Amino acid sequence: MAAKTPKPQELLQIDHRPPREWWMDRKVVFKPGTWCYAGRPENVKALDLPFPREWSPDEEDWKLPDNWKEIVLETFRDRLHKFRSLKVFMDICVRCGACADKCHYFIGSGDPKNMPVLRAELLRSIYRGEFTKAGQILGRLAGGRKLTYDVIKEWFYYFFQCTECRRCSVFCPYGIDTAEITMIARELLLEIGININWIMGPVANSFRTGNHMGLLPHTFKDNIEFLCEDIYDITGIKIEPTFNRKGAEILFITPSADVFAEPGIYTCMGYLLLFHYLDLDYTWSTYASEGGNFGLFTSHEMMKRLNAKMYAEAKRLGVKWILGGECGHMWRVIHQYMNTLNGPADFLEVPVSPITGTRFEHAKATKMIHILEFISDLIYHDKLNLDPSRNDHLVVTHHDSCNPVRAMGFIQEPRHVIKSVCNNFYEMPENTIYAETFCCGSGAGLNTDEFMEMRMRGGLPRANAVDYVHKKYGVNRMTAICAIDRAVLPTLMNYWVPGVSISGVCELVGNALVMPGEKPRDIDLRQEPLVRPTAEMPSEDESDV
Amino acid sequence: MFGRKKGGSETKANIYELLESNYHTIVKKWIDKVYDSYPEDGAKFLRNKKDPFANPVGFRITRGIEGLVKELITEEPSEGVEEFLDSILRVRAVQDFVPGDAVAFIFELKKVIREVLAKQLRDNIRLMEELLDVETKIDRLALLAFDIYMGCREKLFQLKVEEIKKRPFLQLEGVSCPSAALSLRQMKTLREQLNLVGSRRDSEQQGH
Amino acid sequence: MSRVIFPLIVVLVLIAIPILGVKVAGLHLLFGVVIPYVAFAIFILGFIWRVIYWAQSPVPFRIPTTAGQQRSLPWFKQSRWDNPFTTGEVIVRMALEVLCFRSLFRNKRIDFRQLPDGTPILRYSPTKWLWAFALLFHWSFLIILIRHIRLATVPIPGPIEFLDHLDAIFEIGLPQLYLTDLTILAGLLFLLCRRLFIPQLRYISLPADYFPLFLIISIVCSGMLMRYFLRTDIVGVKELVMGLVSFHPHAPVKDIGTIFFVHIFLVSCLFAYFPFSKLMHMGGVFLSPTRNLANNSRYKRHINPWNYPVKTHPYEEYEEEFREFMKQAGIPVEKE
Ligand code: HEM
Ligand code: SF4
Ligand code: SF4
């Protein structure tokens, strides 16, 4: 494509349907709003990653090392040896196209290279062109091409336009997971010093201070205490959580965004209220103060480096098991990677709820359970005094976050809790929820403002579905069990569907939980009035789909 | 060939009736032109002869165009116009257009109408005059479209600033004002993204 | 366009080779015995080699794609086939995948509807075309393949005989028309037309996607020509095939018919091409880690054979850096 968008007039004068160049012939043009800033050298250096330097993707020269090509091919070979997934996925795609229109970025942008199959072909074509005989001899006729500077740029552009959401994988007849391919492609790029700052920054912070936000121990504590003050103002309940306390029964870890950023802080207030209500013997940690793990978006190694803190801290504090807050990619790491990477966790015990005595057998090796599993168990055993009418000012829908659903199968737990704490719940249309949920469009480290246009495009399918329930049922609140969702969906909604706010499930729990000794509540955790439902409630009742 | 048959009766109709009877052709041609304004590897790729709606982008475009044409052929347009324009422009505001190109599709409607009604318009002064009236409406539509487009862009910009404000490092580094925290680089890019021709807004931002 | 033309030309050349070879050069032995043997050997060895090549790489992480409710608490009904927890459940999932193309069954189309009141809405509605025709093609292929056992056995085993009857159940024409001949063609033509006429598909298609389609279509067509139109000497064919499978090959009878040599040569090409192409999805589907693993990684530790120690930021270093802050804030420290 030319650097300038052709004017409609120009298109009309020439034949406006020129033969389309094939994708291998197209070079990437870096348009504003569709790519992220390069990693700052100080962050890259802090992590001992290769080739820290000042560079920018929109410049001609990326200042790559001289032997970038060898490094990439060598790493590629190495990853083929290490990951059967990669090998098999490189070989067996039949290009049936079942995945093509399943990616939110393709749906929202129409850019053909955002079809998962083509995104993967970007890598596959190099695999064929450099590593297979047919590709080396026949080149394009065998679907192969050589690794060039432009290919690297193309990789950067498109592998940082994939949110690793795995929606494509659900529909592929062989389960080819473009997220896995993206993860490995990003590793190849990392080896020649190509990365983005929105990932490098949080990773560097997390490595040093324990959390993405870079909160120092005292700030972390201050923030939680600040939330406790708000809770006191709202409910009259005084909460004094403990930090880094040895001998606690449970270590609680949640994304640091919950401690710091709106609207996550309201979810955090929900946690605090609940733990106080239960008089739970738990502690926060300032060292393992991050549930999320942007290492997942960097490399398998970085994921391990950051994740190591959780077990290390659990061991140091001598807790029995770990409880995890609401977060998407955090749970992908905990559920599918943590025990493999940093286990075995034989110094911990199988999680047992101190209130109900339930043994969480399904987590008996990793020894960490999700807060909603924990709460669902409490509700099932009727241990919570809940007043769902305190959420009557909200008409709620639930956004299934990609990772918990497609890398774990976390579907009914949040719904059980939501339906127990609020009276107005409506599902979004079928095929946009559960395993087929649409991504927020900003996951996998792409939730930065310079990527805004692309985020809005990628979020369009999700927004469309919200728009539907917003118009039909008057939905004004969407819950999401993911810290990235809570950070980016407000923006998305603000643009496409104004009038829908975002929260975690535990915020609703916090609203509904009747605390012993609380003062009469007339405001919710956001200090907004608890307005009773208005007369014009829609009549259809399809909440339990 | 030479305007036999229906031609006689149709020329008696006023322009709005003519537009109404050609509603589907106009909608279809106009949608085609909107798609033509997309770059090869953009939403144009989604155009599918049989089913131009097969995507939310196409959906919004179609919904908008149909609505706009309907509004145009009723002699008194309602506020619905804004909603339909919004439907299209909210999408175009996040795609790679400069403002002029983003709203240029409105003017294509003039061309479409002249094409579709070419036969009837020939030698018919009254219709021509009525057409001018319609075209004035289209011009107004374009102005409105520009406002809406700029509204969307401003919204985007505002959302960016809000996100930047929320960034924790601002507090940590003791900077409370987003524009101060933006490095010059980021500032430059933001400005490019705004696609603002004038520097008015820029100076406002920097004066912050 | 050359992405379509090139494979087409290759297939045409492949058709021409045996015609020339047998009709002009009279190389019956080569085309009737040597090439089929070689091709089959390539197929078997190639297949094994490729599976070993895949299997040499470990599965470091347990990464199933979960398409339904996990097994967690007893009051949630687990989607056993979409989110398997036990090996048994995995086997069912795989079987559904391989036999019924379950994932393809999920396919959705973006769809534009109007509500009764005229407001347009957008939805994602199921589309089963690809699934149906893919299934049609594959099952027909399998049945046809099994039917061929008839040529290599005396006496013909009962089940094969039965299948044969079933396939020709409509008793149309003479020789009787096989259903699967029609269904495989329908399937193949559908898959080809999709590729040719859906812009997105044409855009992603490589020569290697058209080639197998053209090749298999030619095989089917040559087979059907042989059976229904240009009759060949079935007895001669059977003798030849029996010789091949019993490893006592003898030169084919001369007037067996060129069309037969075209058919067997194309089949040989398919076999020889198989291990080096996307057709290996047949083996790969069983090795795909997002499908063949149980989602029980919190229940049972999955071992990564190359898990190596990494540089972390231990607590001691953390405390060292922030001790003063921690003490001031009243956070317990290890070293005062
Ligand atoms: C375990 C066995 C197999 C399974 C589960 C399987 C599954 C599939 C699936 C799900 C597709 C995608 C849908 C489609 O495009 O049709 C496909 C495509 C295809 N399969 Fe298979 N397959 C198997 C064996 C074979 C064999 C033995 C062949 C024959 C040589 C074959 C030839 C093809 C071809 C040519 C395509 C591509 C069709 C196209 O171009 O669209 N498959 N297969
Ligand atoms: S669905 Fe799977 S096999 Fe089909 S094109 Fe996509 S990745 Fe390839
Ligand atoms: S993982 Fe998600 S973002 Fe990436 S290609 Fe697949 S559908 Fe698109």
C-alpha–C-alpha distance, residues C126 and C148, integer Å:
36
Q: Which two structure tokens, joined as six digits, stand for C136?
A: 């049609």
**Regarding predicted confidence, which is higher, C43 or B4?**
C43
Q: What is the dihedral of CA C76, C89, A92, C36, to 10 degrees?
A: -160
List alpha helices for A95-216, DSSP H: 104-109, 116-126, 133-138, 149-159, 167-171, 178-191, 197-209
Top-confidence range, A106-115, B178-187, C251-260: A106-115
pLDDT in tens, C313-334: 999 999 999 999 999 999 999 9
Residues A209 and A131 in one domain: no
pLDDT in tens, C67-94: 999 999 999 999 999 999 999 999 999 9
Cα–Cα distances in Å, from C198 out to A99, C137, C138, C279?
14, 19, 21, 22
Find residue C261's DSSP bridge partners.
none
**Pocket residue to mutate for ligand 1, from C281, C285, C287, C292, most atoms within 8 A of Cβ:** C281
Q: Are B121 and B128 in contact (CB under 8 A)?
A: yes
Residue with tokens 């909604």: A493
Residue A16 has pLDDT above 80, yes or no: no
> Does residue C303 line the site of ligand 1, with CB under 6 A?
no
C-alpha–C-alpha distance, residues A105 and A116, integer Å:
9
Handedness of CA C114, C115, C121, C124 (dihedral sign): negative
Range of the domain at A92: 10-30+50-194
Handedness of CA B52, B58, B63, B69 (dihedral sign): negative
> Does residue A94 line the site of ligand 2, with CB under 6 A?
yes
Q: How far is C133 from chain B (nearest CA, A)?
A: 21
Q: Which two structure tokens, joined as six digits, stand for A442?
A: 């900003």
Residues A176 and A273 in one domain: no
Residue A535 is assigned to a structural domain of this protein:
no
Pairing label, strands A368-370, A396-399: unpaired
C-alpha–C-alpha distance, residues C63 and B24, integer Å:
50
Q: Are A122 and A162 in contact (CB under 8 A)?
A: no
Nearest alpha-carbon partner for A178 in A197, A165, A161, A191:
A165
* List of chain B residues whose C-beta atoms are within 8 Å of the C-beta of residue C198: 48
List alpha helices for C19-151, DSSP H: 28-29, 35-56, 87-100, 102-105, 129-147
Handedness of CA A381, A384, A390, A395 (dihedral sign): negative
Residue A60 is assigned to a structural domain of this protein:
yes
Residue B8 has pLDDT above 80, yes or no: no
pLDDT number for residue A86: 97
Residue with tokens 């594959």: C138
Average pLDDT score over residue span B61-69: 86
List alpha helices for A8-166, DSSP H: 8-13, 41-46, 68-82, 84-92, 104-109, 116-126, 133-138, 149-159
C-alpha–C-alpha distance, residues A274 and A284, integer Å:
14
Residue A13 has pLDDT above 70, yes or no: no
Q: Which atom of ligand 2 is nearest to the CA of A94?
A: 3
Q: How confident is the model at residue B201 (pLDDT cuts 50, 70, 90)?
A: very low
Chains touching chain A, criterion 3+ CB pairs below 8 Å? B, C
Find residue C121's DSSP bridge partners.
C113
- The tally of domains found in chain A comes to 2
Q: What is the DSSP letter of A118?
A: H
> Does residue A403 line the site of ligand 3, with CB under 6 A?
no
**Regarding predicted confidence, which is higher, A392 or B186?**
A392
> Does residue A179 line the site of ligand 2, with CB under 6 A?
no
> Does residue C212 line the site of ligand 1, with CB under 6 A?
yes
Q: How confident is the model at residue A151 (pLDDT cuts 50, 70, 90)?
A: very high
C-alpha–C-alpha distance, residues B67 and C3, integer Å:
42
Residues A175 and A85 in one domain: yes
Q: Are C190 and C196 in contact (CB under 8 A)?
A: no
Average pLDDT score, chain A: 90
C-alpha–C-alpha distance, residues A332 and A405, integer Å:
9
Residue B176 has pLDDT above 60, yes or no: no
Average pLDDT score, chain B: 72
What's the alpha-carbon Rg for chain A, to the nearest Å? 24
Instruction: Say if the Cβ atoms of A339 and C302 lie within 8 Å.
Output: yes
CA of C219 to the centre of ligand 1 (A): 16
> Residue C118, class by beta-carbon neighbours within 10 Å (0-12 exposed, 13-18 middle, 19+ buried)?
exposed
Average pLDDT score over residue span A285-309: 95
Q: Per-residue DSSP letters for B102-134?
A: HHHHHHHHHHHHHHHTHHHHTT-HHHHHHHHHH
Q: Are C249 and C34 in contact (CB under 8 A)?
A: no
Residue A175 has pLDDT above 70, yes or no: yes
CA of C298 to the centre of ligand 2 (A): 29
C-alpha–C-alpha distance, residues A544 and A517, integer Å:
34
Residue A418 has pLDDT above 60, yes or no: yes
Average pLDDT score over residue span C122-135: 82
Residues A188 and A214 in one domain: no
**Regarding predicted confidence, which is higher, C242 or A184?**
A184
Residues A181 and A63 in one domain: yes
C-alpha–C-alpha distance, residues C166 and C304, integer Å:
49
CA of A144 to the centre of ligand 1 (A): 21
> Does residue A95 line the site of ligand 2, with CB under 6 A?
yes
pLDDT number for residue C123: 66
Q: Which two structure tokens, joined as six digits, stand for B101?
A: 């190109």
CB pairs under 8 A between A and B: 120
Residue A519 is assigned to a structural domain of this protein:
no
Q: What is the DSSP letter of A243?
A: B
Residues A508 and A370 in one domain: yes
**b/e per residue, C291-304, with b = 16+ CB within 10 A?**
bbbbbbbbbebbeb
> Does residue A117 line the site of ligand 3, with CB under 6 A?
no
CATH (residue range C2-328): 1.20.950.20
Average pLDDT score over residue span C127-136: 90
**Pocket residue to mutate for ligand 1, from C100, C193, C282, most atoms within 8 A of Cβ:** C282
% of chain B surpassing 70 pLDDT = 64
Quote the crossing angle between the two packed helices A412-421 and A371-380, to the nearest 10°.
50
pLDDT in tens, A343-382: 899 999 999 999 999 999 999 999 999 999 999 999 999 9
For chain C, what are the domain ranges? 2-328
Among A246-260, B2-16, C17-31, C37-51, name the one with the lowest average pLDDT.
B2-16
Instruction: Say if the Cβ atoms of B57 and A460 lie within 8 Å.
Output: yes
pLDDT number for residue B193: 45
Q: How confident is the model at residue B58 (pLDDT cuts 50, 70, 90)?
A: confident
Nearest alpha-carbon partner for A460 in A97, A99, A110:
A110
* List of chain C residues whose C-beta atoms are within 8 Å of the C-beta of residue B59: 112, 120, 122
In the Cβ-directed half-sphere of A376, how many Cα atoms lie within 13 Å? 22
Q: Return the residue of A nearest to B151 by Cα.
A: A495
Q: Is A207 on the interface with C (CB under 8 A)?
A: yes
- Interface with C, mutate which of A340, A348, A359, A377 (most C CBs under 10 A): A340
Chain A from 289 to 318: CB within 8 A of any C CB: 300-301, 304-305, 308-309, 312-313, 316
C-alpha–C-alpha distance, residues A407 and C83, integer Å:
10
pLDDT number for residue C107: 83
Residues A498 and A466 in one domain: yes
Q: How far is C319 from chain B (nearest CA, A)?
A: 20
Chains touching chain C, criterion 3+ CB pairs below 8 Å? A, B
Among candidate residues A146, A176, A194, the one where a domain is terminated: A194
Q: Return the residue of A nearest to C206 by Cα.
A: A143
Q: How confident is the model at residue B2 (pLDDT cuts 50, 70, 90)?
A: very low
C-alpha–C-alpha distance, residues A290 and A298, integer Å:
16
Nearest alpha-carbon partner for A112 in A100, A127, A102:
A100
Q: How confident is the model at residue B41 (pLDDT cuts 50, 70, 90)?
A: low
Q: How far is C221 from chain A (nearest CA, A)?
A: 23
pLDDT number for residue C250: 81
Pairing label, strands A250-253, A501-503: unpaired
Nearest-CA residue for ligand 2 atom 6 is A99
Average pLDDT score over residue span C211-227: 94
Residue A6 has pLDDT above 50, yes or no: no
Nearest alpha-carbon partner for A409 in C62, C295, C103, C108:
C295
For chain C, the maximum distance between any two Cα atoms, rounded to a whole number of angstroms, is 100
Residue with tokens 């487009």: B149
CA of A425 to the centre of ligand 1 (A): 42
Residue A143 has pLDDT above 60, yes or no: yes
Q: Are B59 and C112 in contact (CB under 8 A)?
A: yes
C-alpha–C-alpha distance, residues A56 and A63, integer Å:
9
Q: Is C116 on the interface with A (CB under 8 A)?
A: no
Residues A160 and A225 in one domain: no
CA of C259 to the centre of ligand 2 (A): 36
Instruction: Say if the Cβ atoms of C318 and A81 lie within 8 Å.
Output: no
Residue A241 Cα to chain centre, angstroms:
27
Residue with tokens 């590729």: C195
Query: Which of A121, A308, A344 has the CB atom closest to C312's CB atom?
Result: A308
pLDDT number for residue A44: 94
* List of chain B residues whose C-beta atoms are within 8 Å of the C-beta of residue C122: 53, 56, 59
- By three-state DSSP, how is residue A109 classified? helix
- ipTM, 2 dp: 0.92
pLDDT number for residue C152: 84
CA of C138 to the centre of ligand 1 (A): 6
Residue with tokens 């079987």: C95
For chain B, the maximum distance between any two Cα atoms, rounded to a whole number of angstroms, is 80
Q: How confident is the model at residue C151 (pLDDT cuts 50, 70, 90)?
A: confident
Residues A414 and A282 in one domain: yes
Q: How confident is the model at residue B203 (pLDDT cuts 50, 70, 90)?
A: very low
Residue A1 is assigned to a structural domain of this protein:
no
* List of chain C residues whose C-beta atoms are within 8 Å of the C-beta of residue A240: none
Quote the crossing angle between the two packed helices C315-328 and A197-209, to the nearest 10°.
70
pLDDT in tens, C89-105: 999 999 999 999 999 99
Average pLDDT score over residue span A72-79: 97
Nearest alpha-carbon partner for C298 in A355, A536, A362:
A362
